[in-house]
Amino acid sequence: MASKHSSNSSQSHGQSERARCQLELGSDVYLVAKPWHQKLLIHIRRFENYKGKTFPTKGGITINLKHWVELCGCKSQIDETISASKQGKDETFFRHLGANVHTSMDQNFAGVDLRQWWWCDETKFVKLSKKGISLSTSVGETERQFGNYERLCSGTELCYTFCHAG
């Protein structure tokens, strides 16, 4: 996993500390653990390169440490859903992580979706918002073709260790 850091991105949004952990998941998607107002936030976000520097985009989601731990706890259920889906079974997975953030997967979507949802008063149901990111689960023959979700899982323990480091 390649690791990058944009030196000017932390100051541009009023942040006083740099990322504690920044892992490339592939396809310009990064996992970033960063303090914000004395709270640790986990960003799973698409980044863009501009003039040799890497900048975060709006494409992604930010969760707190509690929701990150909840997501990590879903790994085995997500893996089972992926395995069943690859066998042609009609399996779905949907979990509320907290703060209107849900992770989901179904047979019609080839990936794991992390997204904020919102309550619709008209229908009395929660609906998808644009805030979120979809992580591919496809695995190719080479490491470069490894899916974003698998890279997220590979980086989970490493990032968790960095997050809790003094």
DSSP 101: E
In the chain, the amino acid numbered 78 is: I
What confidence score (pLDDT) does residue 69 get? 86
Taking the domains of the chain in order of start, what are their residue ranges? 67-138
Return the CATH number of the domain spanning residue range 67-138: 2.30.31
CA distance 163 to 106: 31
**Dihedral over Cα of 153, 155, 157, 161: its sign:** negative
Q: What is the pLDDT of residues 85-144, one digit of tens each?
A: 888 888 899 999 999 999 998 777 778 899 999 888 999 888 888 889 988 876 554 434
pLDDT band at 67, cuts 50/70/90?
Answer: very high
Residue type, 148: N
Predicted structure pTM score:
0.74
- Both tokens of 155, joined, read 């980086």
Q: What pLDDT score was predicted for residue 161? A: 59
